Amino acid sequence: MAAGLAGSAVLPGCAISQVPAPAPGMSASVTYLHLLAKVPMFTAMSREQLQWVIDHSREWAAAPGAEIATSDRGADSFWTLLDGRWRIEQGASGVEAGHADPARWFGGRDMQALMLAPLRLVAIQRSYVMQIAQSDLDEMLRRGLPLQPHLQAGLNFYRTLAR
């Protein structure tokens, strides 16, 4: 989401990760509140809720072809697509998704409970993704952040992969 903002000063209300990238082809990126508010998964949130999300997540820029996560690596985190496109691969088949599609998130406890065949999440163009620890996602839900419809749409999508 920091696209076009390179060289800008870090603004109040944004966060940047200081930890190593989760995979090759990924780099830390800045989460801007005013841009996060436009992402379909987060449009129903107040400024305070958006700031809480920013404070409890990490944003990453993913180059085309970067493997963001797999069933074995990174699936214990909850990933959501902020901008760009990714592909969820299962064997030789796959499904592409943008930030407004049901498959706009990946990983976490609920997806792992479906016990799907091995999956691979790959950026298919320059993309921005948010990584949220399962404990932070649980706290977001406990606080009443309006994520449930998005989570349910994603689970419905992932159930189709289990067939």
For 28-51, the pLDDT digits (tens) are 999 999 999 999 999 999 999 999
Q: How far apart are the first and last CA of the chain?
A: 34
Residue type for 80, please?
T
Q: Is the pTM of this model over 0.75?
A: yes
Q: What is the pLDDT of residues 152-161, one digit of tens each?
A: 999 999 999 8
Specify the pLDDT at position 11.
41
12 pLDDT above the threshold of 90: no
Rounded distance, CA 25 to CA 60, Å? Answer: 10
Contact present, 108 and 158 (Cβ < 8 Å): no
Specify the pLDDT at position 22.
86
Mean of all residue pLDDT scores within the chain: 88
Question: What average pLDDT does the segment 20-30 reach?
Answer: 92
Q: Between these two residues, 163 and 50, which has the higher pLDDT value? A: 50
10 pLDDT band, cuts 50/70/90, is: very low
Residue type for 92, please?
A
2 pLDDT band, cuts 50/70/90, is: very low
Which residue, among 68, 48, 65, 64, has the nearest Cα to 56 in the 3D structure? 48
Contact present, 116 and 71 (Cβ < 8 Å): yes
17 pLDDT band, cuts 50/70/90, is: very low
Contact present, 72 and 21 (Cβ < 8 Å): no
Q: What is the pLDDT of residues 88-147, one digit of tens each?
A: 999 889 999 998 898 899 999 999 899 899 999 999 999 999 999 999 999 999 999 999
Cβ contacts of 122 within 8 Å, gap of 6 or more: 65, 66, 67, 68, 86, 87, 89
51-82 as b/e: b if 16+ CB within 10 A: bbbbeebbbbbbeeebbbbbbeebbebbbbbb
Rounded distance, CA 105 to CA 80, Å? Answer: 4
Backbone angles phi, psi at 49, to 5 degrees: -65, -40
